[in-house]
Structure 1
Amino acid sequence: MTELIAILRGVTPGEVVGIGHALADAGITAIEVPLNSPDPFTSVRLLADALGDRCAIGAGTVLTTEDVGRAHEAGARLIVAPNCDAAVITAAVELGMTPYPGVATPTEAFTAIAAGARHLKLFPADAVGISGAGAWRAVLPKDVGLLPVGGVDATNLAAWAAAGAAGAGLGSCLYRPGDTADAVGARARELRRIWDEKSQ
């Protein structure tokens, strides 16, 4: 799964569908609503109902197995976490969801893989760096994807793609609370273009 995941931290239910449509129209196929956003499960449900056939909808900042279950009930297909919690990974896999646990060391990466993860959120990506991720790539299983999150934007997305990233999580470079759907869509089109050009 090669994905650019739009991270809509702080999004509200009243704006989420319009922003979701703008992202989907720009070619973004995965959207994450962090659980520290206002009324996040409502936003996940609204996105899943409106765009579930076009985008993989996910919940982010998922820290407990209870929240995995609530996200599943709301229609989420992705579970994104800032940390590596084997119970959260296992719960997501058992529900047929795709977990993206956060890893910052090779030890955490292999712990996540052992728990059933096949996609790893490299976080914070700017701390590990592209060269560090390249060293990880040499020892990780070939079918495990690395998704950098944290400090990824239009200035370095191409470099991450060239380094073998399986996707990227795009947060404040794409959406900040209060942004219009048109503004988010324009940024998304540019990021999608950069990714597509470098990941061929």
Structure 2
Amino acid sequence: MMRIPFPTMKYPLIAILRGLKPEETQAVVGTLIEAGFTAIEIPLNSPDPFRSIETAVKMAPDGCLIGAGTVLTTAQVEQLDSVGGKLMVSPNVDPEVISLAAAKGMVTMPGVLTPTEALLAAKAGATGLKFFPASVLGPSGISAIRAILPPDLEIAAVGGVSDTNFGDYAKIGIRSFGLGSSLYKAGMDAAEVGKRARITISAYDAVYGA
């Protein structure tokens, strides 16, 4: 079992850009990086996602983690690798998908909701776990499951998380988040995304310290 470690980031925040179009990628990703984001996820149910991922990979500076969300198959992992993606986020736990992504040097964040799924993902070599939807479990639910997990696993809260509730998760030691609709919705222009990104970074600094 190979486990790729989660990279050290000042802001361990994954921007989830569901619905992003290839022609919008440069402007939207650029403004996010400018605001301080260093992890970008483009879900595969977006228009022509691999083209967008390839664009983002080519423009992002060293130290940025760019990849795909909603990854369901090993064929998609292969395609993600072919465009240089280094982040594999999935909504489920598929050991074959996780282990192939890890073998290709990708950071892997499968989605989990239960202790069974969380332990299965850890056994498969996941870098970290995406507790989704976090709003259903809440900080107390995530904290209870975390007690039985390997301490080196990165834990991220995703779903119903925004700049307004970082503090609730900080109380249980969660520092990593996936941010979707609070940051980006399909069709949103780069200026609006940049504004939301700056608000998010400011809120994160207020809770965790700049």
Q: TM-score range by the shorter chain?
A: over 0.9
Moved over 4 A (4+): none
Normalised by the size of structure 1, how large is the TM-score?
A: 0.96
Aligned length: 200
The alpha-carbon deviation at position 98 of structure 1 amounts to 0.8
The alpha-carbon deviation at position 52 of structure 1 amounts to 4.7
Larger deviation, residues 60-69 vs 157-166: 157-166
Residue 172 of structure 1 corresponds to 181
In 1: Cα distance, 2:92 partner to 2:173 partner: 22
CA offset digits 1:156-180 (Å, max 9, x no partner): 1222233222310000000011111
CA RMSD of aligned residues (A): 1.2
- The answer to whether the 8 Å contact 1:32/1:60 transfers is yes
Residue 101 of structure 1 corresponds to 110
CA distance change for structure 1 residues 146 and 9 in 2, over 3 Å: closer, same or farther? same
1:20 aligns with 2:29: yes
Structure 2 residue matching 1:101: 3-state secondary structure: strand
Picking from 158, 163, 168, the partner of 2:172 is 163
In 2: Cα distance, 1:197 partner to 1:32 partner: 24
Trace 1:1-200 onto structure 2 (pairs within 5 A): 1=6, 3-200=12-209
- The answer to whether the 8 Å contact 1:146/1:167 transfers is yes
- Gap runs ≥5 in structure 1: none
Structure 1 residue matching 2:147: 3-state secondary structure: helix
Letter aligned with residue 32 of structure 2: L
In 2: Cα distance, 1:56 partner to 1:40 partner: 16
Larger deviation, residues 179-188 vs 156-165: 156-165
- The answer to whether the 8 Å contact 1:83/1:101 transfers is yes
The alpha-carbon deviation at position 54 of structure 1 amounts to 4.8
Structure 2 residue matching 1:146: 3-state secondary structure: strand
- The answer to whether the 8 Å contact 1:161/1:195 transfers is no
